[in-house]
Chains A and B, each alone.
Chain A
Amino acid sequence: MPKPLKELLDPRQAAESVASTQVWKSIFRHGYPDSPRNRALTMISNVFLHLHPIRMKKHGLRLRYTWCMGGLTFFLFLIETITGLLLMFYYRPTPEYAHYDMQYLREDVPVGITREIHRWAAHAMVITVWLHMFRVFLTGSYKPPREFNWGIGVFLLVFTLLLSFTGYLLPWDQLAIWAITVGSNMARATPFLGHEGPGASLLKIGDLNLVHAGDDAKFGLLGGRFVGAPALLRFYVLHCVGFPLLLATLIAVHFWRVRRDGGISGPA
């Protein structure tokens, strides 16, 4: 017997009939979040929501206390991921094309601001990471039991800076090439691994230097003795795949430990 129209149009009854279907129940395996148990289940049975706590301390919601800097940093990371993925549809990491693809993205691709958003968000992310670190320091949130997560955070800072450094080369203009030349020259001074670093001169067999300009840390980074086509490709791969994967893994650990160590922003 078909249901009366009035019953179908009643929002409450319509919702209940949807919620009682097998499809709905297979996705949401809990009732309405109207009890503490169901509220908890809502959060922990959803992979996206379970990043959030089931309940949180009042001061964690105070913007003046947290500055929301960690959240903003993650938001900027998501923007970088999405815009970066879009840029990859046009950008070719070879000296013949790189610079012109960058100009093409800026001038001729619709919504060319995508490239600028990627750049601005990268600058902003470096700033918000520092401010997040500063806030964590001011509120004493690095103290036990959160020391380990501070350490993870330092690595997140390092990978944020490395992403900025590798992205800096990709426009392939004079600024990019010489900035990376200057920056990668530091790798020459790596202990034992750089050919001008301490200890490198000890690694020799007879007159044969084992660590020289053709096989040291700088060479490995650039794929050559100077910034050229192999360096552009290596930096591109590190920028688009290597460092983002490492960063995403560490972000997961960071967030997990925030929850395990007692929620955001508290000193204890």
Chain B
Amino acid sequence: MADAKAAGTETTRRGALAWLLGAWGLFGGACAVGAGAMGRFLFPNVSFDPPQTFKAGYTSDFEVGKVDERFKAKYGVWIVRNDEEIYVLSTTCTHLGCQPNYLEAEAKIKCPCHGSGFKPTGINFEGPAPRPLERFRIVLAEDGQILVDKTKKFQYELGQWDQPEAFLKV
């Protein structure tokens, strides 16, 4: 002991605690980095989901009074044209998120999961759905095509269907 003291290499209580604290801190930090890396691992940089924004062709491609189902499977939207406007309707049921079917003969949108029914306008009229289907942003692109943007939604119950870009005047 005396030799160690003389040589200045004696382990003091304070020194041991500092060493322990440093070691545990390093270990804890490494674990935190590892946990963070594992969490990040589950969120890939490339998504194979269809893009949120897409071009849907020209206004003349859409018949008046028809619910266009061409973009349902890939993008999850109906594009509807009536006498005055074109609007984009979400195919996600507002009850629990299933995908309803458009029944042309009955001119209604019907969800197979729990029976919610919607008019082609998106207004709910039967079943458990608490609110109308959502609509998405629709504008004309520079080349004259319809541009659908699913990142911006318009909700009837919030009075947003009258806002610009919630529909396209034709």
Contacts and interface: CB of A to CB of B under 8 A. Distances in A.
A and B assemble together: yes
Interface of A: 174, 178, 181-182, 185, 214-215, 219-220, 223-226, 228-230
A224 B43 contact: no
B49 A178 contact: no
B97 A181 contact: yes
Interface residues of B, number: 13
B60 interface: no
Interface in B32-58: 42-44, 47-49
Contacts, number: 33
Q: Ordered nearest first, which 10 A-B pairs have the shortest CB separation?
A: A182-B96, A185-B97, A178-B98, A225-B49, A220-B42, A224-B49, A181-B97, A178-B113, A182-B97, A215-B43
Interface in B107-123: 112-113
A73 to B, nearest CB: 30
Interface in B20-77: 42-44, 47-49, 76
Given A223-B42, A228-B49, 9 more contacts: A178-B112, A181-B98, A181-B99, A185-B96, A214-B47, A224-B48, A224-B49, A225-B49, A230-B48
B98 A182 contact: yes
Nearest to A216: B43
A201 to B, nearest CB: 15
A224 B42 CA distance: 10
Nearest to B96: A182
**SS class, residues of chain B in contact with chain A:** loop
Contacts of A224: 47-49
A50 B25 CA distance: 39
**SS class, residues of chain A in contact with chain B:** helix
B148 to A, nearest CB: 16
A186 to B, nearest CB: 9
B43 A219 contact: yes
A226 B98 contact: no
A224 B52 CA distance: 12
A226 B49 contact: yes
A194 to B, nearest CB: 13
Contacts of B44: 223
A225 B44 CA distance: 12
B99 to A, nearest CB: 8
A223 B45 CA distance: 11
A215 to B, nearest CB: 6
A37 B158 CA distance: 78
Nearest to B98: A178
Nearest to A212: B151
Contacts of B98: 178, 181-182
A228 B43 CA distance: 15
A213 to B, nearest CB: 9
B30 to A, nearest CB: 23
